[in-house]
């Protein structure tokens, strides 16, 4: 029971970081922001749990890192994050881009298991500089 409560509290801490962040976060970002509160192994476990629960989705960036961002309409074991992701080469942030249309329809006979649509460039705040 005590363990359960502690788990819930730790999950809330991780969730708060996502809520206060505009873009996506990688494991190291979260560990850094939760330093002294949640250790890196726990952060990893919670991310995995959130992914299974349909709370966050994973983004494989071209820099080889995996980022995580909050989902909008996903449920446990069923992700529907068919949007693009944008990597800013200047401030090195990853954002979800929801408004750029749909993924191409696959021809008959193909079944998609995973899709990623990744765009690199400069975000509005970096472009302005």
**Cβ atoms of residues 80 and 74 within 8 Å:** yes
Q: Rounded distance, CA 14 to CA 11, Å?
A: 5
Question: In the bound complex, what is the minimum distance in angstroms from residue 109's beta carbon to Zn ion?
Answer: 26
For Zn ion, the closer CB: 27 or 79: 79
Q: Is 25 a binder of Zn ion (CB under 5 A)?
A: no
Q: Rounded distance, CA 44 to CA 2, Å?
A: 21
Question: In the bound complex, what is the minimum distance in angstroms from residue 75's beta carbon to Zn ion?
Answer: 9
| Cα 59 → chain centroid | 6
Q: Is 26 a binder of Zn ion (CB under 5 A)?
A: no
Q: Is 61 a binder of Zn ion (CB under 5 A)?
A: no
Determine the size of the site formed for Zn ion (CB under 5 A). Answer: 12
Question: In the bound complex, what is the minimum distance in angstroms from residue 40's beta carbon to Zn ion?
Answer: 23
Q: Is 126 a binder of Zn ion (CB under 5 A)?
A: yes
Tokens representing residue 10 in the block:
């730790």
Q: Rounded distance, CA 14 to CA 19, Å?
A: 9
| Cα 15 → chain centroid | 11
Q: Which of 76, 91, 100, 119 binds Zn ion (CB under 5 A)?
A: 91
Strand partners, 66: 60
Footprint on this chain of Zn ion (rule: CB under 5 A): 57, 69, 71, 74, 79, 81, 88, 90-91, 96, 123, 126
């Amino acid at each position: 029971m005590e363990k359960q409560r502690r788990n819930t509290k730790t999950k809330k801490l991780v969730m708060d970081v996502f809520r206060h962040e505009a873009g996506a976060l990688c494991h190291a970002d979260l560990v850094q922001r939760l330093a002294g509160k949640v250790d890196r192994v726990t952060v990893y476990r919670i991310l995995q749990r959130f992914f299974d629960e349909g709370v966050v989705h994973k983004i494989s960036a071209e820099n080889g890192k995996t980022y995580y961002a909050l989902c909008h309409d996903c449920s446990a074991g069923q992700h529907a994050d068919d949007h693009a992701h944008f990597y800013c080469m200047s401030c090195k942030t990853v954002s979800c881009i929801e408004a750029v249309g749909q993924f191409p329809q696959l021809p008959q006979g193909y079944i998609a298991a995973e899709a990623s649509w990744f765009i690199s460039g400069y975000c509005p705040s970096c472009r302005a500089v």
